[in-house]
Amino acid sequence: MPPEVPGSGDTFLSQFSNSEESSEHFSPAPTGYVSGKTKFVVVIGTVMSGLGKGIFASSLAKLLQDKGLSVAPVKLEGYLNIDSGTLNPYRHGEVFVLDDGLETDMDLGTYERVLNQNLGRRNFMTAGQIYTDILERERRGGYLGRDVQMIPHVTGAVKMRLRELAMTGPNAKQVDVVFVEVGGTAGDYENGFYIEALRELAFEEGDGSTCFVALTYILEPSILGEQKSKAAQLGIKRLMEAGIQPHIIACRAKNPVLPKVAQKISMFSNVPMKRVFSMHDRESIYVIPDAMRCEGLDREILSLLHLHDRVDTAAEDRARKGWDAFTAQLAGTRDHRITLGITGKYAALRDAYASIDKAVEHCAVTLGAEVDIRWIDTSDIETGARAAASLEGADAIIVPGGFGMRGVEGKVLCVEWARVNRVPFLGICLGFQMAVIEYSRNVLGWKDAHSTEFDPKCGHPVISELPDQKRLEGIMGGTMRLGAQDVAVQAGSLASFLWKGATTVRERFRHRYEVDPTFIQQLESAGLVFSGRHPKHPIMQMLELPVKEHPFFIGAQFHPELTSRPLVPQPMFMGLIAAAIAQRDPTFAQSELGRRWVRSTSNAPSQPAA
């Protein structure tokens, strides 16, 4: 059963009248909510999904956040899953884990990175959550004898959750703007109730309360050699048929949208030309906020929602300074070039590792490096020779997380190649576990070492299910360790160096298996260092090799990529990329950046602290 959204139960039900002739105008709101105070920006797709609604919404939210306004994003998904935890990456991209443990889709990662903001379960809504909540209330007799219907009950539940999100601002005040992204496209059956709820919300909140954005697609068939807007027009028409008049049109396209095409869209949709934005392909999503600002979209939003009087120009100047410095580096000359091998089982789909891709980008920009990513499918690696051939020329490798047996032995072979050849290595979640297995097999000589996830009867089960959860049985996801947890960092370790001497760090987990405590002493005696642990229990959360044995060999049971931000790159990724640069250019280690991120024998203790 999904956790109850705080404050939604009694407040929601109390808004129904006990009278048999109760009003059909159902507009639930939490206690203290002031209608019209919070503004709503709603982004709805047309033509097809996957066009970048999350990128557009987060970029626009950043513009207002920079101006000192408080913002809160939310993604509305039409599928019946409670969360994204069991979705196949090939169907839906990576599963992004929030600080409170909710498993969501990759758009929440975009919001966190662009807004530099930790999100929670209020920022993600699925049809499964809504229907489950309503049906459980109905079984408890919560609807006072009424027949439960899509309108007003389902749409009312959506409006209630949006208003509850609005109440989560700083100091428990209402946020200035809630940004709502509707999954899918206008005309889909599964998101129809969301669109209807948002139409009702705009009506109830009053004039100047809601700005609707239609994200559409401008076709440019190579056989015709020109841009065509008919599909976009018909997609917008579906939205208008649902009672939504867009205020802004964002046109996704390969090339800049031509004026005559924008004019057609403007005329057809009743949207002024100054509010038709060309969202064509750019070198990075991080330059889109500035492109929007140059087109004046931020001013249009402020005018539409009557927000000019809430702007803090000094805050905007400060925010722009830092972001402009990052985008300038993004477009600047890179002094170094390295090849990074990412060895996973979903290598054919980059969206499966979207956060890793972005974390690498953040570090590459900061370190002035051009990183050539080589995506390697470990399902095809069956021998050490095949691993060597696949990784030849790589300056660093990442072995990422994953579930299932396919590609596991290939991951072990890739870890061995990195360890033996002293190539900078980062193992993430399953990659961390594969490093333990590889070390057990090839250093301790336990050739039958494995994880009970893949071989329950192996002779040395160095990876096994969490001890506190071995007695738990339930549906898939029921025994997962999810969300942010504290990690105690060993003094004098590589991890401590990367986190500037921090003794505790907080990172996000998503796993079911761990290092079996039975084998920890033997692994440590053989030279493996567990530099990150649970603060209270014998749960190993980071491992590494001493710098004298390997220039950079580290693994994390958590997912460090989930907390990387453009202006605050994740330390483990920074160390990996910096170590790879130093392998290519030894003088880098003596530079200011190099001394900060490359740990040499001269700045490391001879033995890690006990």
Asked if pLDDT for residue 609 goes beyond 70, the answer is no
Encode pLDDT of 432-476 as tens digits: 999 999 999 999 999 999 999 999 999 999 999 865 555 443 434
CATH second-level architecture of 38-325?
A: 3-Layer(aba) Sandwich (3.40)
Token couple for 379? 């399902």
Segments making up each domain of the chain, as ranges: 38-325, 334-465+479-603
d(CA 489, CA 496): 6
pLDDT value, residue 21: 44
Report percent pLDDT > 70 for the chain. Answer: 92
Q: Could you give the angle at the alpha carbon of 495 between the alpha carbons of 489 and 501, nearest 5°?
A: 70
Q: Which of 565, 558, 564 is nearest to 543 (CA)?
A: 558
d(CA 152, CA 158): 10
Q: Could you give the angle at the alpha carbon of 420 between the alpha carbons of 415 and 423, nearest 5°?
A: 70
Asked if pLDDT for residue 521 goes beyond 90, the answer is yes
Rg, the chain, Cα only:
26
* Amino acid at the residue 22: S
Determine the 3-state secondary structure of 440 from DSSP.
helix
Whether the bond into 152 is cis, omega within 30 of 0: yes
CB neighbour class for 18 (10 Å; exposed up to 12, middle 13-18, buried from 19) = exposed
- Tally the C-alpha atoms within 13 A of residue 506's C-alpha that lie toward its C-beta: 8
d(CA 446, CA 434): 14
Encode pLDDT of 399-436 as tens digits: 998 877 788 999 999 999 999 999 999 999 999 999 99
Q: Quick check: 421 and 411 in contact, CB under 8 A?
A: no
Asked if pLDDT for residue 295 goes beyond 50, the answer is yes
pLDDT value, residue 470: 52
Residues with catalytic roles? 429, 559, 561
**How does the average pLDDT of the chain come out, rounded?**
90
Q: Quick check: 104 and 83 in contact, CB under 8 A?
A: yes
Task: Identify the residue with better confidence: 21 or 95.
Answer: 95
Note the CATH number of domain 334-465+479-603: 3.40.50.880
Question: If you count them, how many residues does the chain have?
Answer: 610
E strands of 169-305, at which residues?
A: 177-185, 210-217, 248-253, 276-280
Please state whether 326 falls in left (phi above 0), alpha (psi between -120 and 50) or beta.
alpha
- Pairing assessment for the beta strands 481-489 and 504-511 based on DSSP bridges: antiparallel
Q: Quick check: 418 and 505 in contact, CB under 8 A?
A: no
Q: Which of 315, 325, 294 is nearest to 566 (CA)?
A: 325
Q: Which of 349, 338, 344 is nearest to 373 (CA)?
A: 338
Look up residue 287 and give its DSSP letter.
G
pLDDT value, residue 22: 55
Q: Kindly provide the b/e burial profile for residues 21-56, where b requires at least 16 CB atoms within 10 angstroms of the residue's own CB.
A: eeeeebbbbbeebeeeebbbbbbbbbbeeebbbbbb
Q: Quick check: 297 and 290 in contact, CB under 8 A?
A: no
d(CA 547, CA 163): 52
pLDDT value, residue 69: 97
Helix extents (H) in 72-173: 89-92, 107-115, 127-139, 155-166
Encode pLDDT of 167-188 as tens digits: 998 877 899 999 999 999 999 9
Would you say the CATH fold of 334-465+479-603 matches that of 38-325?
Answer: yes
Encode pLDDT of 571-607 as tens digits: 999 999 999 999 999 999 999 999 999 997 666 554 4
Give φ, ψ of 90 to 5 degrees. Answer: -70, -25
What contacts 47, CB < 8 A, 6 or more positions away? 185, 216, 217, 231, 232, 235
Encode pLDDT of 208-256 as tens digits: 999 999 999 999 998 988 999 999 999 999 999 999 999 999 999 999 9
Look up residue 165 and give its DSSP letter.
H
Encode pLDDT of 266-284 as tens digits: 999 999 999 999 999 998 9
Q: Which of 500, 496, 480 is nearest to 530 (CA)?
A: 496
Stated as kind and residue range, the H or E segment containing 396 is strand 396-399
pLDDT value, residue 603: 63
Token couple for 102? 């909710």
CB neighbour class for 512 (10 Å; exposed up to 12, middle 13-18, buried from 19) = middle
Q: DSSP characters for 300-349?
A: HHHHHTT-GGG--HHHHHHHHHHHHHHHHHHHS--SEEEEEEEEES-TT-
- C-alpha 88: how far from its chain's center? 16
pLDDT value, residue 3: 42
Asked if pLDDT for residue 610 goes beyond 50, the answer is no
Asked if pLDDT for residue 132 goes beyond 90, the answer is yes
What contacts 565, CB < 8 A, 6 or more positions away? 112, 113, 116, 362
Intra-chain end-to-end CA distance of the chain, in Å: 43
pLDDT value, residue 576: 98
Q: Quick check: 38 and 176 in contact, CB under 8 A?
A: yes
Asked if pLDDT for residue 134 goes beyond 90, the answer is yes
- Pairing assessment for the beta strands 396-399 and 449-451 based on DSSP bridges: unpaired
Stated as kind and residue range, the H or E segment containing 238 is helix 230-241
Asked if pLDDT for residue 479 goes beyond 80, the answer is no
Count of beta carbons in the 10 Å neighbourhood of residue 81: 15
SS (HEC) of 563-608:
HCECCECCHHHHHHHHHHHHHHCHHHHHCHHHHHHCCCHHHCCCCC
